[in-house]
Chains A and B, each alone.
Chain A
Amino acid sequence: MGYSTIYAVSGNDIVYETFDGDAVVLDLASGRYFGFSDSGSCVWEALIAQVPPASLVGRTCGSGQLSAADLDAFIARLNEYGLLSPATGMASAALSPELAQRLAAAREALKIDMHDELADLVMVDPIHDVDEPAGWPAVKQ
């Protein structure tokens, strides 16, 4: 990971809502939902607000500090899930005091949970990817 890299949401298919500091992300193309821990929500919000990872390493996060290794792993997971991509030509932003405060008050480790229970209903090709005798929505194994 480049610590000065600026990230952005990976396209229009990624939509998200934040409730009381908890983010929920939906990938419209895949039908997968993602829920974050409280610290994960803070980091997600910071990254999509163009805060570079370098500004987050060492920040107070609950009873500890955000380590480079934890941040690396978290961003790698966001990339793997197709939620976040490096952005070019974008200026970096500073971490807002509100997000810094929330991060300091976080109680959970950096974490993202993926829910794909209904993704097959959203994204599978029901013509070519289904088990023919069973028909849609039985997905070909």
Chain B
Amino acid sequence: MRRVTLDDLADYARELLAACEANADAFPGKSRVELPGLAIDVFSDHGELARALGHGMVAEIAAGRPATPGRIFLAHPGIGSIPQPALWGEALFHPNMFSERLEANGLRGHYFHDLSYWQFYDVEKRLGVQLMRSADGCPPWEFGAPLRCFLHWEYAARGMRLTHAGTLGKGGRGVLLAGAGGAGKSGTVASGLLAGLDSVGDDYVLVEFDGDRSLARPLFTTLKQDQAGFDRLGLARLLPDPGLLNWQGKYQFRVQDLCPRGVASELDIVALLVPQISGAAQSTITPLSRKDALMALAPSGIAQMPGERESGFRFFGELTRRLPCYTLTLGTRGNEIAETIAAFLDRGNS
């Protein structure tokens, strides 16, 4: 079994990319994923991951935007002459050094040791490979946000950012909901959707600056709730058969399952809210220092994404600087939380 080190990491990445291009015709499935400014041809096998591409990702809504083509291969050794995934050598594996070595060669990448799972992306060619042991041999979180790392690298190269935040909006204006897992983001997004608010997504959304505006666009349609949240929101009436719990012990469903209009195409973000579960009857929105808002927004977004850490910190710093920041102390009733956010947006508090 081949062992890869920092010294031959870039060579290994180039070899895999070349192997995928040479075997393009051997891939059983080919689909096109159309996202903001990007049209990706995805070469894959059949299976759950291929289905997730169609199920969990948005179809580009804002028609007319020029789309740059890209190609991503979801490869495994059962396809043509795709090689077995290599293993990491005995040397220390440091994610930061791994990223730096690839970036010096115009590449981005990620390695998940437990599954011998490699992802490499050539930024200039917009060409990516995800090498797995089998068709669905990826970490379980990939099914909720497929191609996430590739999108992170591609959009970061354009000065945009996959942002770990929920969103809610009304009339085209919206708020980002930022914070660590368990802070109440997903429950707030689901409550808002049920109450008629819009969203461009939960968990990961694409944020870009357009002049003075900060725009959020959708990439994924996935929503998640644990059993307690599912019950609290009364989701069984909309999802009588929600399927199995995912790897986090959560039900996974889509925005369009809660509201027929589906995800909004874009929200003009006017504030950053940091939810806090309080147990109080009434929700409140009170000013928060930008320092504390950045600390809520940046860490998880940077830690969960391989590479581009400094650019991420700078981007989230700029985003925090542009937006008024607030603590959203969550009440106990979803409707009341949604009304509080809707009233906040109606007041134009930004």
Contact = CB atoms under 8 A, between A and B. Distances in A.
Given A15-B310, A15-B313, A122 B289 contact: no
A contact residues, range:
20 to 34
Nearest to B290: A19
A93 interface: no
Interface of A: 13, 15, 17, 19-20, 22-24, 26, 28-29, 31, 33, 35, 115, 117-119, 121-123, 125-128, 130, 135-136
Given A19-B321, A29-B96, A127 B295 contact: no
Contacts of B88: 127
Given A28-B309, A28-B310, A135-B114, A33 B291 contact: no
A115 B299 contact: yes
Contacts of A123: 94-96
Contacts, number: 81
Contacts of A15: 310, 313-314
Interface of B: 88, 92-96, 112-114, 180, 289-292, 294-295, 298-300, 302-304, 309-310, 313-314, 317, 320-321
A118 B313 contact: no
Contacts of A115: 295, 299
Contact of B309 (A35, A117, A122): A122
B173 to A, nearest CB: 23
B83 to A, nearest CB: 20
Contacts of B304: 121
A22 B313 contact: no
Nearest to A36: B291
17 contacts: A17-B320, A19-B320, A22-B289, A23-B291, A24-B294, A26-B302, A29-B96, A31-B303, A35-B292, A118-B299, A122-B96, A122-B303, A123-B94, A123-B96, A125-B94, A127-B113, A136-B112
